[in-house]
Each structure stands twice: as C-alpha cells, then as structure tokens.
Amino acid sequence: MVKRYRLGSAGAKEPVKTEAVIADIPESGSGSLFLTQKNGALEYEMPDDMIVYGLGEQTRGINKRGWKYVSNCSDDPNHNEGTQSLYGAHNFLLLSAGDFNVGVFIDTPAKVTFDVGYTRYGLLRITVADAEETAYDLYVMEAESPSETVREFRRIIGRSYIPPRWAFGYGQSRWSYDSAEEVREVVRRHREARLPLDCVYLDIDYMERYKDFTINRETFADFEQLVSDMEKEHIHLAPIIDGGVKVEDGYDVYEEGRANGYFCKDENGGDFIVGVWPGRCCFPDMLDDDARRWFGRKYKILLDKGIEGFWNDMNEPAIFYSEKRLKEVFGEIDAYKGRNLDVDSFFAFKDLVGSISNSEKDYASFYHTYRGKRIRHDKIHNLFGYYMTRSAAEAFEELAPEKRILLFSRASYIGMHRYGGVWQGDNISWWSHLLMNIKMMPSLNMCGFLYTGADLGGFGGDVTEDLLIRWLSFGVFTPLMRNHSARGTRRQEAYCFAGRTELFGGILRLRYRLLPYLYSEYMKAALQDGMMFLPLGFVWPEDEIARRTEDQLLVGESIMVAPVYEQNADGRVVYLPEDMKMLRFCGADIVEEKVYEKGHVYIRMPLGDVCIFLRRNRLLPLADSAEYTEAVDYRRPGIYAYGDAPEPYAYYMDDGRTKEYDCGRHIVYLTADRENA
Ligand code: GLC
C-alpha cells in the first residue's frame, strides 16, 4: 500500500513536478503519517534493531545508520567516508525491523538532509531545504518484507531502463584515447591477447575542442570508417556527451541554442556562462520542453554515424567557475596582496581559488524555464542530470523507437532510472572505493537504478595490479562492467601488466560465461520491479548475522558473492546463511566445487580466483566463454545445481536488441536434468 502526503509550510507553493512517480496516488491526510513533523523536519524514533536501507548513490554502508547524508548532486571525485553528497540524489529510505518494513520517498528537487542516527543514534531526522517556500510530496509504502516494500516503491516510479544486451559485455575506457589509431590499438591488443571486449568508450578526446556533437577531424579523421571497422570486430563505440555547450561563434549547436533562447539565463536575462572542459560554456535548459527536445535531437548526429551508446557527463551540472565568480575572486585575491597573512586570513586566502568550483552562489544565480515559469537553478538542482538523460532517451524513442540504445549518466534523481543507467561517478584507485562500489549496488537497485557499475580499477590515482584484479573479480557481476581511468594516471587496460594478461583474460572470460544468468536476472528485475543485487538481510531477515553483513551480496536468485576488497589478503571470512555450494573459478574454469555448511568459514581466494556461492536448490546457468556478447550461445547454457530438489530456473532470454520484452513469452524453465551440460 502506498500513501501520498503533501507537506511543507502553510502557504508554501505547489511542489515542483519531478515526474519521479508515474502512478496517480490520492493525497492522504497527514494524521495517518508515522513520522512526526517537528521544527520543520520529519522525525522518527528508531528502535535499536532497525536497519535503514536506501539512499542509492551514497557513501558508507548498506545500513545507512550513523551518518548524515545530503541529497545534492555533486561532482566530488575525492569523496571518502566524510562525504555527504555524491553524484546522484536518491531520496528513498527503507526502515526495516521485524515486521515493520516501511519505505519513504521524499519527492523534491531541493536539498534534503537525512540525519540517520548521526546526532543521536535513535533519531531519524529528515529536513527538506525549501519546505518553507515550496511544498513537496512524501510517499510512504509498506509491505510484509523489505523486498516487497521496494517493489511497491518501484511500481509507482515505473520500469527501469533496459540497455541492449551487448552493453553487458566488457567495456574499455580511458580519458586520453587521443586518436582513432589509439582506439584501434586498444581493440587490437584485446583481440590479440584473447581478452573479451564489446565496447570502447570515447571520452572528450574525440570531440573538436570539447564541443558536444562534434568530431575532431584531425585525430579522428575518418570517424565513420572507424565505427564501421569496429562493428566488424563486434565492438561498439560509446561517446561521452557533456552537460555544457561551448561558447564559440560559428559552432552550430551554440548558435542555435543562443538564437532560440535554449540556454539557462543569468539574473539579467543573458545566457549564463560557466567554465567547464571547453572553457566558456552555456547550459541547455534541460527543464524547458523545447530546449530539451532540441538538445535530445542533436544525438542524431552521432546515431547517424552508427553510434549506439552514450554516456552523459558533467551534468550535476559541474561548474569549474562562472564568469562572475571568477571576476570576484580575482578581485578578492588582490585585496590580500602585501598583507600579513595570519591564521584566519591565510586559510581564507588559500580556500579562495578552490571555492570557485561548484559554488552554491553560482547555483543560486541562474535560471530555468520550467512549465512556463522562471525558476532558480538551486531550487531544481537535482533534476538537471535526470532531464539531460531524459532529453536523449526521449529523442531515441522518436528517432529509433524499436532499438535499445545504451545510455547512462553521472548525475541522477529517481525517475531518471526509466531513461538510463548511472555509473558511480569519479572514484579513485583505492581499496575503500572498491568496497563502496560493492555496498552501493543494492542501494541503487532499490531506487530503480539497475544498470550500474563503478569505474573498475578506479578513475583517479594509480592502480595496482592486485586492485585491478580484485575489482574486476567483483565487476564480473555488475551490469555495467567498464574499466575507466583518468588522463595522467597509470594505464590499466587488461593487457598492461606483464605476465598477467592470461589471468586478466580468465576473469573477463568468466564474465561471458555468466552472461546468460546475469542478463536473465537483470531482465527479470527490470520487468518485475525487483532487485538484482540484494543485501543478505532481504532474504534472511530473521538471521541477525545476515542482516548485519555489509560485504557480501546476493546477485539474482541463485548466487551469493563475497568479494575480496583488501590488499594482500589471500582470502576472507564468508558468512553462509544456509548451506551453499562454492564454485571456485580460476579464470573462467571451475577448479573446485565444495559444499559448506551454514556459518562462518575462511575461504582462500588467491588473486585470480573468483568464488561463487550457489544457494541450495537453485540453479546457475553458465555459457561457454566467448570474446564478445553476441558470440555467446544463450540457447544452451550448462547448468550447475546444488541440493536434492532444485527449483526450475526461470530463464529469460530475448533478442537483446529490440523492445519486445515479455516475461511470459521469453521465459523458459531450465531444470537440473541438463546439469553440467
Ligand atoms: C569527468 C568524468 C570522467 C571523464 C572526465 C573527462 O571527470 O566523470 O569519467 O573521464 O570527466 O571527460
């Protein structure tokens, strides 16, 4: 059951319509609300045994208790435990204790603070920044289990985005593939070393002076030829598109946007100018219907060249500087000249330059036109990335209605999950970021983001060979499996580590063996509003150890994973909530099968070994490995089983390209008779 409450101060304006929820839910009187409205916040006394799940892309644990989080899409590549805001804003919480499984969704693009037992362990306090001025809708849902509560929520926000099946293959990316030659080289080296690959991502380097929808014809002279040659190699190219359009006379996208008034405006009605990768840029007003349609149709330029996938970036939107703020800061710096800088003035001076990026002042100084009304950016900040991605998806629907196109974004808000996936933003080659990736998966799934993954190996910083091996060993399970890194960092393509290429190849080939299962589980989760990555407590809510386990996950209905995320570890303690059969893969091959009883066990996992725990009476379909997704034989997977009475496995398989999804027609039931075929 889902209830909707309209909250905010008396006399507050109508809420901004985010279109996160697509179901029409009548308003309930606030008398039945289980949260208390106090001092402008919503409060709730949490019993000690309550777990608070949710918040999608956020730091810290699967259980969010003990920290303060702020929904405010932020470009923060150096995030750590102390961070409160990441790239996405996902205002969904699930409070779970015994029979009490209640979901809460705060639908507002304003900043929302979730103090989940930070000020006091037993107190949940939710504060909506703009509630004085603008009302908001609060949705409350309840069901008998955590999974069912999530399903209730997912039903009202609509079906998750479904990518083409090739997007489940391995992708290689790096900011600094500076020419077509380099892209060809990356593909050649993968193919030569028999490292499977389906996609190469093109970062801003393919563009002419970082201008959206252009090609650098000096370095990517025959882009069209490159796309078609790659197609012959079964490689898809997925270019990046940024949220800002370069200010440059004669650049048609800029000229059209300016002439038609499609850009966000400053206080005086002029185009608001910021600095991002290309230098001076304007932001298309993604919230304005006409501007959004116009921007979306620009993707056609690349679709017409044979491109079938995109990643939308810098769409929090990230601002390096605004013209106005830059001028102010230069002025302020002047005032420090010749002064004796003491403890206060020195640090203020030092912070000055850093303060120009993503500044609150800037976000509060430009305007959108939303449904005919002028609205200041900071009031709808969390919608920008969502609406940018929506602009592309709506255009694809018009331009190629039958075809699935790969699309994922950096910034997001709930609702965007219908239009595209997300990658988990800029991370660093740190072990703690691998662990964060693991914990974020179920939280994102709850919020509808199924197509997701992190930059494997880490984006910033220098990777080590063992970190990359461990990260890929987890990445084999995430729908988006992409190795991505920043310009200037150590190279981390799978062929870069002397003597280890075969080991990397084994891990990548395991991904392809798992594809029938992963794709099937993904599709069922999408079509039935379910989750693909589950915390153990969702399946064993009565098992207190399972409920408190933060570093193991269920992936789909049949398997549990327990990744290694610490340097120099040779294995780890695994908790088995029931008897399970461990399948040890050394690369793509099973080298050991062993049944472990319920309880804790230390399992050795040397580098290159991936252990999968098969649940009792469940089946795992596995294909032979292949070097690209379409070479996988999906029709006849081998079956691994554990238990005396395995339930038939509901195997979903469709053509992977068109939109004729249908659980009825595309599910066949696999049984254990075909075991180890
Ligand atoms: C941003 C993106 C990153 C990309 C870089 C250059 O930092 O998050 O993935 O490589 O911009 O485009």
Asked if 490 and 462 touch (Cβ cutoff 8 Å), the reply is yes
Instruction: Spell out which residues line ligand 1, taking CB within 6 angstroms.
Output: 175, 203-204, 240, 313, 410, 426, 459, 484, 486
pLDDT at residue 675 tops 70: no
Q: What is the pLDDT of residues 407-422, one digit of tens each?
A: 999 999 999 999 999 9
pLDDT at residue 674 tops 70: no
Average pLDDT over residues 338-358: 91
Q: Provide the H-helix boundaries in 68-165.
A: 146-157
Q: Cα dist. 366→130, 266, 272, 355, 379 in Å? A: 17, 5, 6, 18, 10
**Ligand 1 atom having least distance to the Cα of 240:** 12
Dihedral pair phi/psi, residue 95, rounded to 5°: -95, 125
Q: Whole-angstrom Cα distance, residue 556 to residue 523?
A: 10
Q: What is the per-residue pLDDT for 39?
A: 87
Ligand 1 centroid–CA 313 distance in Å is 7
Q: What is the per-residue pLDDT for 30?
A: 87
Mutate to test the pocket of ligand 1, among 459, 483, 485, 487 (most ligand atoms within 8 A of CB): 459
Percent of the chain with pLDDT over 90: 97
Q: What is the per-residue pLDDT for 676?
A: 52
| Tokens of residue 122, six digits | 């037993």
Ligand 1 centroid–CA 447 distance in Å is 24
Model pTM score: 0.98
Question: What single-letter amino acid sits at 254?
Answer: Y
Ligand 1 centroid–CA 563 distance in Å is 27
Q: What is the per-residue pLDDT for 381?
A: 98
Average pLDDT over residues 344-355: 90
Q: Whole-angstrom Cα distance, residue 400 to residue 396?
A: 5
- Pick the range with the lowest mean pLDDT from 326-335, 492-501, 604-613: 326-335
Q: Which residue minimizes the CA distance to atom 8 of ligand 1?
A: 426
For β-strands 571-576 and 452-453, DSSP reports them as unpaired
Q: What is the per-residue pLDDT for 354?
A: 87
Name the average pLDDT for the chain: 97
pLDDT at residue 541 tops 70: yes
Q: What is the pLDDT of residues 51-78, one digit of tens each?
A: 999 999 999 999 999 999 999 999 999 9
Q: C-alpha angle with apex 422: 418 to 423, nearest 5 degrees? A: 165
Q: Whole-angstrom Cα distance, residue 583 to residue 212?
A: 46
Q: What is the pLDDT of residues 95-142, one digit of tens each?
A: 999 999 999 999 999 999 999 999 999 999 999 999 999 999 999 999
Tally the residues of the chain.
677
Q: Whole-angstrom Cα distance, residue 377 to residue 384?
A: 9
Ligand 1 centroid–CA 283 distance in Å is 17
- Pick the range with the lowest mean pLDDT from 251-265, 294-308, 316-330, 459-473: 316-330
Q: Whole-angstrom Cα distance, residue 12 to residue 56?
A: 28
pLDDT at residue 677 tops 90: no
| Tokens of residue 574, six digits | 């695994």
pLDDT at residue 516 tops 60: yes
